[in-house]
Structure 1
């Protein structure tokens, strides 16, 4: 069930949300920013959850890490989810730790049966601890692995089949990978099990001479809006978020992008295919 059109809650906008309660359907936060038991950030989140549905979006668990995921980190996500009672909980299809060291990045995986078994075990572990379905987000990447034997879509579909997880479809990431690797964004979308998609991310990217960077620092590109139309035309309304993490603008810019998503989705859903 769609919870509408939301924006990521960022620190520069705390005061405006607290004082004005701007019209937006829901808010998403990065889980790791709220692991503390108290403080200003937690106060803001707990206050706003009385007005807005909340989604917890994790960036640090590293579900694809071969040496396992941190039980302490997972326990903090569990405590936060129990406290906030979010509508959605999500994590990335990536790895992020090795030899006891946590790397501050969302690192890509080879798409093989061996890696699938590792990440499926970790997704099941996360869902068992949280007692709920978790959404897994497709990744933007800047390298590919020669050892991959599955497409990204096939890998994600099999992960859903093995674990019962849902998908968070980042449409911008699909487009970035098309630009960087020549992988058809349309083919990826058409191959995905869209019945498993419970949330969509839309964001801006940075085009350089030899690479496209998923920097979340600009308005959504026209090409990404076109792909979003295609997704909604195939599956109808789905909870949609505008992400913006670098050079964060006035809140009005994010709200305008969210309103645009609402308009695009309404138009596209009239022509379900």
Structure 2
């Protein structure tokens, strides 16, 4: 059963990220998008075009906030200045929940502006969960954490990534933003079975799913969000829906952004995969 904090009164299906090259098309054509996801930090400003466009979008669409700067894995604790600015935006958008990445990114006040992987240790579970509980209580809106892509592993890890994700979500009592492309990217880079990861994730905590494309290089594949979704990632998505049920799904496309029609067409492919997964889910339930 899904966490009611992420389902009660909210009917979300397929969405895409709100990106600058598509502003004019969206405002003039009013496409039938289920919802838009915004990068919170892009709108945590005092004024300007971004906020003006956002207010017009909010008049017509549901908007959900997704962040890149909370850094719940930081050993120094949460940054209340960031949270205060974030909360002002939460009140503006009336987002049904807010998400950010399960990562760290600053040391002694110096920001890396990157999503750095957390060592999978019990102490990191404790500290990260503490930060998330403080953030969720302060923001007064449900919080979900996203699994990040990784390109190596720590020698001192005490558990797998999927165990760490589940432990943190349980200890902090937060939801999970399940990025199936990140699972695939990390599985290729670090040599594990992505289905094992997916099948371990507590389905009842999955609040949202991300799908995206990536780039393949000689030694690694990188989560670049600048290509269509490949079949192995779609298959992971199908399995995620089979396990989690009808969950809000968002396509990310952040590099070499094509036309709105191409991005929206790629996002809508999820509906075919979702229908197949729901049918499998129903068949299992009937059996």
Relative to the length of structure 1, the TM-score reads 0.98
Q: Verify the 8 A CA contact 2:74 2:106 in the aligned structure 1.
A: yes
- Find out whether 1:114 has 2:123 as its counterpart: yes
Q: Following TM superposition, where does structure 1 have runs of at least 4 consecutive aligned residues deviating by more than 6 angstroms?
A: none
Is contact 2:65-2:97 (8 Å) kept? yes
- Out of 64, 80, 88, the position equivalent to 2:89 is 80
User: Which segment is superposed worse, 116-125 or 151-160?
Assistant: 151-160
CA RMSD of aligned residues (A): 1.0
Superposed counterparts of 1:134-173, under 5 Å: 134-173=143-182
Match of 1:125 among 115, 126, 134: 134
CA distance in 1, matches of 2:59, 2:204: 30
Aligned to 2:79: 70
Q: Secondary structure at the match of 2:219?
A: coil
Look up the match of 1:16: 25
1:186 matched to 2:195? The reply is yes
TM-score (norm 2): 0.93
Tell me, in whole angstroms, the C-alpha distance in 1 between the residues paired with 2:173 and 2:223: 28
- Cα displacement string for residues 173-197 of structure 1 (whole angstroms, at most 9, x for unaligned residues): 0000110001110000011101100
Q: Aligned residue for 2:220?
A: 211
Number of aligned residues? 273
Q: Contact conserved, 2:206 with 2:244, CA < 8 A, in 1?
A: no
For residues 97 and 37 of structure 2, the distance between their equivalents in structure 1, rounded to whole angstroms, comes to: 9
Query: Hey, what does 2:4 align to over in structure 1?
Result: none
Q: Name the CA distance, whole Å, in 2 between partners of 1:236 and 1:67.
A: 37
| Stretches of structure 1 lacking an aligned partner (at least 5 in a row) | none
Q: SS where residue 63 of structure 1 aligns?
A: coil
Instruction: Give, in angstroms, the shift of residue 104 of structure 1.
Output: 1.3
Contact (CA 8 Å) 1:133, 1:164: kept in 2 or not? no
Contact 2:97 2:141 in 1 (8 A): no
1:198 is aligned to 2:207: yes
The answer for unaligned runs of 5 or more in structure 2 is: 1-6
